[in-house]
Amino acid sequence: MSESKSPLLDEKRFSSLAREADATVPFTARGTIVKCALMLVAAMLTAATAWTQLDRGRGDLAFPIAIGGAIVAFICAWVGAVSVRHVVWAAPVYALAEGFVLGAVSWIYEAKTQGIVVQAVIATFATLLTMLVLYRTGLLRATGTFRKVVTIATISVALFYLGNMLLRMFNVGGWSMETGTNLALDLTIGGVIIVIAALNLILDFDFIDRAEESGAPERLEWTAALGIMVTTVWIYFEILKWLRRLNRR
């Protein structure tokens, strides 16, 4: 644990967590899986609610629902990432809010391309399963170098999206999967981003193993579950955009 540079994984951090939570109930991978399942069910329920309402002729609410849900989800994800004390409520609320985003955005894409949502869901879970197998078999391990590379790549993607958003906001150019005109380039960029998002799952799995080995408190299971949920949602949206671009070639 002393070799880890992550602020969530070093010994001092876990010692602090032990004082915040009941360390007599240890962190387990099984507990994390249960919490992931609960968050997934919560997200599915609100996603279905949003989709049903939009299907009843309220398509004009798609963007407000997506934006409102995204704001709440972002706040909860941030709170859950920085506070173990509050992650117990932040993670479930994130799942509920993100479900509205998933439902609204998926409805919009499905209206443009029939069947794309089912394809994206299957591809997302296939990616999740593939990364889990690669991690468990040892083909991909979260070494110090691996963590640094994935972290830098993830930050680069965030800056890339931020730069494009600003460029498009001021109508001075920028790239978008929706408006791109070069199919090969668009699919390549989108594919690279999907790979980077998928590699973040290795960091999530490594976090779970390290937390369990270190005797971290049970409450940290919500932090691990939140991390996996955020990464999985990111992968889903990237795949959804990639499939949409492929279908309008």
pTM of the model: 0.87
Q: What is the pLDDT of residues 131-161, one digit of tens each?
A: 999 999 999 999 999 999 999 999 999 998 8
Structure tokens at 214: 């270190």
The residues pairing with 248 across neighbouring beta strands, listed in sequence order, are: none
Minimum mean pLDDT among 91-95, 185-189, 235-239: which range? 185-189
Q: Three-state DSSP class for 191? A: helix
For the cut 60, the answer to whether the pLDDT of residue 9 exceeds it is no
Q: Three-state DSSP class for 49? A: helix
Query: Tokens 């999530």 map to which residue?
Result: 204
CB of 220 closer than 8 Å to CB of 21: yes
Q: What pLDDT does 56 receive? A: 85
Question: What would the mean pLDDT of 205-214 be, rounded to a whole number?
Answer: 91
For the cut 90, the answer to whether the pLDDT of residue 66 exceeds it is yes
Q: What pLDDT does 174 receive? A: 65
Question: Above pLDDT 70, what percent of the chain?
Answer: 86
Q: What is the pLDDT of residues 74-117, one digit of tens each?
A: 999 999 988 888 999 999 999 999 999 999 999 999 999 999 99
More confident residue, 170 or 15: 170
What element of type H or E holds 161?
helix 144-169
Alpha-carbon distance of 210 to 110, in angstroms, equals: 39
b/e string for 220-249 if b means 16 or more Cβ within 10 A?
bbbbbbbbbbbbbbbbbbbbbbbbbbbeee
| 70, 228, 156, 84: CA torsion to nearest 10 | 80
Helices (H), 22-143: 29-55, 62-82, 87-112, 116-136
b/e string for 2-18 if b means 16 or more Cβ within 10 A?
eebeeebbbeebbeebb
Question: What would the mean pLDDT of 180-191 be, rounded to a whole number?
Answer: 86
Summary mean pLDDT of the chain:
87
Q: What pLDDT does 181 receive? A: 72
> Residue 60 class from Cβ within 10 Å (0-12 exposed, 13-18 middle, 19+ buried)?
exposed
